[in-house]
């Protein structure tokens, strides 16, 4: 029996769902903030990161599209891959401005780990490509 033929236990499936849900909830909140935040609040937050405030809705829509791609089971691996690239940019931004390592610079890695591990635990196809055992 190959790894791709192995059944996913209920525990693994639910752990994967919970991990994916945690990441998706955070990313949904972040996307919503970018799309509907009050102008003054958004301007301050984006200025701290070195981005002009008028780019916030564009970034928010990019995040919304990535969320949809990740949430569709057939395209979820592609969505996780796109999120990984996007979150890499977030790491670079926090690194460039000197934000704290564990709370800011590495936080996108925590989110990407939740996305990938949650997906790996609940998707047989991904296990076949990336066997961890």
Match 């999120």 to its residue by tokens: 83
pLDDT score of 44: 80
For residue 45, being part of any structural domain is answered with yes
In angstroms, the CA 78 to CA 75 distance is 5
pLDDT digits (tens, 9 = 90+) for 33-65: 888 877 777 778 788 888 888 888 899 999 999
For residue 75, being part of any structural domain is answered with yes
pLDDT score of 46: 80
- Band the pLDDT of 4: cuts 50, 70, 90: very low
Q: Is the pTM of this model over 0.85?
A: yes
Total structural domains in the chain?
A: 1
For residue 1, being part of any structural domain is answered with no
Segment holding 72, helix H or strand E: none
For residue 133, being part of any structural domain is answered with no
For residue 68, being part of any structural domain is answered with yes
Domain around 26: 10-128
Confidence check: pLDDT of 3 > 70: no
Segment holding 90, helix H or strand E: helix 76-97
For residue 2, being part of any structural domain is answered with no
For residue 3, being part of any structural domain is answered with no
For residue 26, being part of any structural domain is answered with yes
pLDDT score of 88: 95
């Amino acid at each position: 029996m190959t790894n791709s033929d192995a059944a996913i236990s209920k525990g693994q499936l639910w752990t994967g769902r919970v991990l994916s849900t945690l990441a998706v909830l955070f990313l949904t909140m972040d996307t919503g903030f970018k799309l509907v935040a009050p102008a003054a609040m958004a301007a301050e937050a984006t200025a701290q990161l070195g981005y002009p405030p008028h780019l916030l809705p564009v970034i928010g829509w990019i995040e919304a599209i990535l969320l949809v791609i990740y949430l569709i089971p057939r395209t979820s691996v592609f969505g996780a891959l796109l999120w990984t690239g996007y979150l890499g940019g977030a790491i670079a931004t926090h690194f460039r401005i000197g934000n704290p390592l564990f709370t800011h610079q590495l936080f996108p890695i925590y989110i990407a780990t939740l996305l990938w591990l949650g997906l790996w635990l609940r998707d047989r196809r991904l296990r076949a490509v990336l066997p961890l055992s």
